[in-house]
Chains A and B, each alone.
Chain A
Amino acid sequence: MLLAAPSFGISQPAVRALLALIVITMVMTVAVAYATWYERKIIARIQQRLGPTRTGPFGLVQPIADMLKLLVKEDLRPADADPVAWELAVFGIFVPAFLAVVAVPFTADWLVSSLPLSLLYLLAVSGLSFIGFLMAGWGSNSKYALLGGMRAAAQLISYEIPLILAMIGVVMVTRSADVYSIILFQDRVPLIVWQPLGFLIFLTASIAELERQPFDIPTGESEVAGGVFIEFSGIRWSMFQLTSYVNMYVFSLLGAFVFLGGWEWPFGRDVGWGYQLLLTSAKMSLFIVFYLWARATFPRLRVDQLMSYAWKVLIPFALVQIFLNGLFIVYDPPYVDAFLLVSSGLGAAALVTLVYQSVRVKPRLPLQMFSNTVEARSVV
């Protein structure tokens, strides 16, 4: 991916962009392949297993073996599937994920396309994928797929809203909807300090957008047995998987850029692309490890709980965050930083408390314990 860096002196913007696009697609594909390896290793450690070990040192060749296997598998299509919807569904999910990567500034010098509204672009493009899910669900002509597709559409649309609202809070603080400027804004303090509430909302909503545990309801293995993907096999199925990992990268990068300061904080923008790339990857990895950890340790929410969580908890709190930021814009209080920190921190604390309270159904009686030696027994 460094080929595309301008330091190599390619001045034609179109050529540069094209080159960057090709490189980025290849790099993302390899990165995704190794994300599966990474995921398998991490979850294996959490589950006291070893993960892949037989293919190469530490099982490093496993992703390639997997890819080969998926490529040569039979591409099955259900007899009654809607051909158009079914064929296009893969691209309906696949293309938006890769489109999003275009606007990601990996380092200060290196990004494919500099957009003045790149944050908006990222959110808009990644929000397109629900159409693909609906198409896959409807086109498969399978009841499980239909259920999964409907769940996916409902979930993606619901969680898009708190995600965007959290981002609006960020835009209000930084006064820019360009990811690049947002990163530059965080030269002193990363935004997570000023927007902890927004960060928590982003973190939760992004898991839901990625459809990973505990929000993997559209593909829930134990309920709808794979959901929308149930009728896909071989290369099509692997493209769905590829997409889900690309999305994971995109959201991790977004989180790293918007809330953790990207490559700007703490070393500034003049440290060279090597350090910047390292910094970006490190912050991205924090998010990825969090997603994997959540996957290995959380049960799945139910559909109604998922929906009420989005609409009754996340969205009101996202609005609270926006309101607080609005106060700061309108009144411009003297200690801006402290004001934002305290107010948003209080909001985050309230969010955690509310979630805790709402999930706890009510205090329950402990189990009754009866000794086996007591003579008297009562059968109701």
Chain B
Amino acid sequence: MVAEHEQGLDIVDMPINMGPQHPSTHGVFRMVLVISGEKVVDVTPHIGYMHRGGEKLMEAMDYRQGIGYADRTEYLAQFSAELGYCLAVEKLMGIEVPERAEYIRIILTELNRLSSHFMFMGAFGIDSGLFGTSFTYAFREREYIQDVFEEVSGDRLMYAYFRVGGLAWEVTDNFTQRVHEVLKKTQKGIKDLDDLLTKNEIFMARCQNIGAFTADRAIAYGLSGPLLRASGVNWDLRRDEPYSIYPRFTFQIPVGNYGDVYDRYLVRLEEMRQSVSIIEQALEKLPPEGPIVPEKMPRRLRTPPGEVYAKVESPRGEWGVYLVSKGGDKPYRLKMRSPSFCNLSALREMTVGQFLADAVMILGSMDIVLCDVDR
């Protein structure tokens, strides 16, 4: 704490504890802010409230059970996490995924990106001070998407639908038609949120030039995903280190100019439109028939010894799995590289010098999943 003497009065910076029960810390996150008046002088983030030793737990699970745990770390983009995990095991075992399974995976993962970004839009609106209108708009759309996920996987939150080599079971008969329906609603939902927030003067005044990060700093901090792209780095794993069948689709990668909170919002908004386009292309090319798991899959998954790193572009950035196997049906060591954790490391540099109210906006613009941070 800094004390200054001014006409005999002590002016002391005030430490203020935000979280873990604060409404806008997006889960159980705690930051200790030191504020001088309304300006933030220092931030100390405290994480670990959700730590369950997930990586260690996954070492005790066989490869199929690990899929369920991948869901539980990244609970807003479960399919991305499942895909990353499955890609790692498939890479280690050298399994070819059948065509139809690949397409369904992409459709579901991109739908999941939409639902995750909707969650961001809703919560970010609340962070900026809206009385929940963006939240209800966004959650209406999320609900439609979740209905599809429920029809396909039987669960609304922990899907555990991808399998090493393919999918757990065939999708419902009307899957294509349902996704088309949902996409139509989604496009309207994106437009609604766009109309509500993007050009709102107060929203612009609150977001622009807040928490700006240059490209160099963003790379130095290892940011990824929309945060990195908002800072002006043209980098998307779906294009630059392609996995699955992404090279077969054409889509645009939005990149920001200023790296501030507003750009992060715009990048996410544009990504949602691109996701819709990717899903539409995938639905067009989706083979109507075909296997969803390779012909010869062993009953019990055993990997050869070795180590592998697989990564996917999750809605939050690079979600990677580093897997070491010494043979057998369980990983010897498993490490998850979660974008939430790496992005959160830049919180202090972004927040210091801004207003208290901006600290909330900056944290909101990171779109962190605390389970993914703590694992």
Contacts and interface: CB of A to CB of B under 8 A. Distances in A.
A, B: real partners: yes
Interface of A: 43, 46-49, 143-144, 147, 213-214, 216-217, 220-225, 295-305, 355-356, 359-361, 364-365, 367-373, 377-380
B200 A369 contact: no
Contacts of B235: 377, 379
Question: Which among B23, B130, B247 has the greatest number of chain A C-beta atoms within 10 A?
Answer: B130
Contacts of B16: 143-144, 147
The 6 closest A-B pairs by CB, nearest first: A300-B129, A299-B128, A47-B136, A372-B239, A222-B24, A359-B201
Interface string B97-133: 0000000000000000000000000000111111111
A371 B252 contact: yes
Contacts of B206: 299-302, 305
A74 B65 CA distance: 47
Contacts of A359: 201-202, 204-205
Nearest to A370: B253
A49 B143 CA distance: 14
Contact of A370 (B14, B209, B255, B356): B255
A379 B38 contact: no
Contacts of A296: 130-133
Interface string B233-247: 111101110000011
B157 interface: no
Interface stretch (B67-75, B76-84, B144-152, B263-271): B263-271
A213 B200 CA distance: 14
A296 to B, nearest CB: 5
A217 B128 CA distance: 11
A372 B205 contact: no
8 contacts: A47-B132, A222-B360, A296-B131, A298-B129, A298-B130, A364-B257, A365-B257, A369-B270
Contacts of B208: 361, 364
Contact of B133 (A297, A301, A364, A373): A297
Given A359-B204, A377-B234, A379-B234, A220 B357 contact: yes
A372 B250 contact: yes
B234 A299 contact: no
Contacts of B236: 372
Nearest to B239: A372
B280 to A, nearest CB: 15
Given A223-B357, A300-B202, A359-B202, A364 B250 contact: no
A43 B24 CA distance: 21
Contact of A367 (B204, B209, B233, B270): B270
Contacts of A225: 22-23
Contacts of B358: 302
B136 A48 contact: yes
B215 interface: yes
Interface string B17-37: 100001110000000000000
Contact of B254 (A223, A298, A355, A367): A367
B355 A370 contact: no
Contacts of B252: 369-372
B263 A367 contact: yes
Interface in B344-375: 355-358, 360
Nearest to A222: B24
B136 A364 contact: no
B258 interface: yes
Interface of B: 14, 16-17, 22-24, 38, 125-133, 135-137, 140, 196-197, 200-206, 208-209, 215-216, 219, 232-236, 238-240, 246-247, 249-258, 262-263, 266-267, 270, 355-358, 360
B204 to A, nearest CB: 7
Contacts of B255: 367-370
Nearest to A358: B205
A118 to B, nearest CB: 33
Nearest to B136: A47
Nearest to B252: A369
Given A295-B131, A369-B255, A361 B205 contact: yes
Contact of A380 (B200, B205, B233, B239): B233
A299 B239 CA distance: 36
A360 B200 CA distance: 10
A378 B356 CA distance: 36
B135 to A, nearest CB: 8
Given A360-B201, A378-B234, A367 B266 contact: yes
B352 to A, nearest CB: 17
A367 B133 contact: no
Nearest to A221: B23
A380 B232 contact: yes
Given A303-B357, A367-B267, A380 B136 contact: no
A361 B204 contact: yes
B254 A368 contact: yes
A218 B320 CA distance: 42
A43 B135 CA distance: 13
Given A46-B133, A221-B24, 11 more contacts: A48-B140, A143-B17, A223-B356, A223-B357, A225-B22, A225-B23, A300-B129, A301-B205, A303-B357, A364-B262, A372-B238
A380 B215 contact: yes
A143 B238 CA distance: 46
A220 B270 contact: no
A84 B7 CA distance: 29
